[in-house]
Amino acid sequence: MTTSDAFGFSGEAVRTAHDIRSDWARTGLRGGLYARNVDTGEDLGFDVHVPYALASVSKLPLALVVLDLIAAGELDPAQPVALVPGTTTPGPTGAALFRHPSRIALEDLLLLMLSVSDNAAADAVFALVPPERVTATLQGWGCEGIVVRHPMRLLYEAAAAVAPDDPVLALELAVRATTDGGGHVLPTLDVAAATSGTAAGLVSLVERIWTDDVSVPAATARLRELLGYQVNRNRMTSELAADSVAVSTKTGTFLNLRHEAGMVTTSTGDRIAVAALTASTVAARSQPEADRAIGRAARAAVDVLRL
């Protein structure tokens, strides 16, 4: 890549985008970044239209569509949903770790899947509102750059199919088997088959959620509230945490993917939508420096774009 890949509304913004991309490369990350001030339209980024498999970032559009259906009266937020251990989707948090059968209200499943990125909760919701309906609704709203194709379970099933009982091999394949065109031996990392999105598409969706320009205000207001409860604060929030700054986002993590997308709001009224989609070129499960690099990117972008 060359410096022409980076862009911004000013010389400082262009330099910042270039510096972020260089920092990511030094950290072993490739990816796309986009940040835009909702009120001024000023922006910066690079590779903003390059699609990546979204992993858990897909829970954001899923939640919006479900909240829209709740607002329309098609779904009941108090509807109890049964979760039975042994049949739920695996994951490191929430109901995915439950040892006993439970019944959780639909709206509380949304809280679990957005606050702690609970895969079991997300797939229980996908069973009510399948991926095809989420994508069709997004397309009906004119949301471009995001395609939801599968529940969370498929991520794990695809990895197990090519590397059964060998998470190290799955990670190696994730890093080594990506083609220049976005293809991959793992179908859930192949952008032609996976749930995928672009940084530009995610920023546009977040911006529309914060300006009530998609779905209905009852749905977008509730989603803004839920996104503020995210527990994972190791990426964007790590560099932006302050009493004067609110970070409302959704992360996505799977094998070598580390993403985050959402809104940064300051006490002075700045609203800056940011999406960082990254894939590590390092075959290691624990990479705190990659998380910090995403945080540095968000901080640098916000510093340039705030009024």
Domain contains 121? no
- The CA distance from 105 to 58, in Å, is 20
Domain contains 137? no
Q: Dig out the tokens for 3 from the structure.
A: 């410096």
Domain contains 98? no
Domain contains 8? yes
Domain contains 26? yes
CATH code assigned at 279: 3.40.710.10
Domain contains 150? yes
pLDDT for 188 equals 80
What is the domain count for the chain?
Answer: 1
Q: Are 290 and 280 in contact (CB under 8 A)?
A: yes
pLDDT for 181 equals 58
Domain contains 112? no
pLDDT tens series, the chain, 307 aa: 344 589 999 999 999 999 999 999 999 999 999 999 999 999 999 999 999 999 999 999 999 999 999 999 999 999 999 999 999 999 999 999 999 999 999 999 999 999 999 999 999 999 999 999 999 999 999 999 999 999 999 998 888 887 787 777 878 888 876 655 556 777 788 888 899 999 999 999 999 999 999 999 999 999 999 999 999 999 999 999 999 999 999 999 999 999 999 999 999 999 999 999 999 999 888 999 999 999 999 999 999 999 8
Full residue range of the structural domain in which residue 42 is found: 3-74+144-305
Q: Are 109 and 124 in contact (CB under 8 A)?
A: yes
pLDDT for 168 equals 77
Domain contains 130? no
DSSP string, the chain: --GGGEEESSHHHHHHHHHHHHHHHHHTEEEEEEEEETTT--EEEESTT--EE-GGGGHHHHHHHHHHHHHTTSS-TT-EEEE-TTTSPP-SSGGGG-SS-EEEEHHHHHHHHHHS--HHHHHHHHTTS-HHHHHHHHHHTT--SEE--S-THHHHHHHHHHSTT-HHHHHHHHHH-B-TTS-BSSGGGSTTTS-EE-HHHHHHHHHHHHTT-SS-HHHHHHHHHHHTT----SSHHHHH-BTTEEEEEEEEEETTEEEEEEEEEETTS-EEEEEEEEEESS--S--HHHHHHHHHHHHHHHHHH--
pLDDT for 30 equals 95
